Amino acid sequence: MSESLSEAPAAAVAATGLPGGPGAASAPPRRNDFLHYGLRNRKLLFGLGLELILVLVAIIGPYLAKNPPMYITPYPLQKPGGQYWLGTDLTGYDLYSQLTSGLRESYLVGALGAGCAALIGMALGFVAGWRGGWLDELVQMITNIIVMIPSLVLLVVIGSYLSSRSVLFEGVFIGLTTWPWVARAVRAQTFSLRSREYVDLARLSGKRPLSIILREIAPNMASYLFLVVILLFGSSMLLAASYDFLGVGPNNVASLGWTMNQANANAALNYHLWWWFIPPGAVLALMVFALLIANVGLDEVFNPKLRES
């Protein structure tokens, strides 16, 4: 009960819009503002629209495929068109089926990687930024060390020992090696927010640190955090493609990187089999490109300074 009582003054003070603490105060009108600027931001609409189309392809596409992605058809090296919309490869895999399942797999790994990285990075970033002192030093040290370990080569070493690897493993591995990006961002923001008046007030009113972090600090960097996570989502998909291309990705799963791996291993370039390696990478580039453009648009929506230009 004392919790809810002590919350009241903090919220009330924040609502008066003290200098330095406008975040929580003007939340309701600002949200409409975001919608207002969001619907008028061409970059955001373009990026979001393109991404939405690709997500739809990832959801619906596999249902339209005539064969499962790992099914070997009796017609290898078919050009795109007719029976096989995107052709078949040297083994006889239906490339349309592989592409659409690969899209799905990419989104899944991207979400897993970004989700894991966001969880770990936020937890460590909040703790380091809030507590400061030796704990901060420790977290920063760990962050700096992780950043310097080349993750691709590490995965190659681990992957060569593991005979079976799943999509979950790949996503979690990406999350475990990319969280420093989130941790750095969250730590820096927490550091600058923790000495604001409304945070001091919340502290004075006896709120516990966890609830201050969750209700006073986190909402004020939500937009920023959102942008970081979107970027991580894109880079996770790109990383996964590199891993799959190297052959250390999930086994027996059709992914965009794996299709390119097969094309490279079977000298598709030499025989001008362009339909084998151009679509998977082009689609992945589009997926990430749409995310990046949406990200710039969102940045302009959240950040009034950028809006004017």
What residues line the site for other proteins (CB under 8 A)?
141, 144-145, 147-154, 156-163, 234, 238-239, 241-242, 245-248, 256-257, 260-261, 263-264, 268-270, 272, 274, 277-278, 280-282, 284-289, 291-293, 296, 305-306, 309
> In the complex with other proteins, which residue's Cβ is closer, 123 or 176?
176
Minimal distance, residue 245 CB to other proteins, in Å: 4
Q: How far is the CB of 307 from other proteins (least distance, A)?
A: 12
In angstroms, give the least distance from the CB of 286 to other proteins.
8
Q: Name the residue nearer to other proteins (CB basis): 110 or 207.
A: 110
Residue with Cβ nearer other proteins (35 or 154): 154
Q: In 173-189, which positions are buried (b, 16+ CB within 10 angstroms) versus exposed (e)?
A: bbbebbbbbbbbbbbeb
Least separation in angstroms between CB 105 and other proteins: 14
Question: Could you tell me the smallest distance in angstroms from the CB atom of residue 295 to other proteins?
Answer: 9
Identify the residue whose tokens are 């939340």.
27
Residue with Cβ nearer other proteins (32 or 163): 163
Q: Which is nearer to other proteins, 55 or 278 (CB)?
A: 278
Q: What is the DSSP secondary-structure string of 52-73?
A: HHHHHHHHHHHHH-SS-TT-B-
Q: What is the 3-state secondary structure (H, E, C) of the chain?
A: CHHHHHHHHHHHHHHCCCCCCHHHHCHHHHHHHHHHHHHHCHHHHHHHHHHHHHHHHHHHHHHHCCCCCCCECCCCCCCCECCECCCECCCCEEHHHHHHHHHHHHHHHHHHHHHHHHHHHHHHHHHHHHHCHHHHHHHHHHHHHHHHCCHHHHHHHHHHHCCCCCHHHHHHHHHHHHHHHHHHHHHHHHHHHCCCHHHHHHHHCCCCHHHHHHHHHHHHHHHHHHHHHHHHHHHHHHHHHHHHHHCCCCCCCCCHHHHHHHHHHCCCCCCCCHHHHHHHHHHHHHHHHHHHHHHHHHHHHHCHHHHCC
- Closer CB to other proteins, 201 or 250, in the complex: 250
Q: Which residue, 19 or 28, has its beta carbon nearer to other proteins?
A: 19
Please, what is the minimum distance in Å from the beta carbon of residue 141 to other proteins? Answer: 6
3-state secondary structure of 11: helix
CB of 119 to other proteins, least distance (A): 21
Question: What is the nearest approach in angstroms of other proteins to the Cβ of residue 237?
Answer: 8
Q: Using the minimum distance from each CB to other proteins, give the nearer residue, 34 or 274.
A: 274
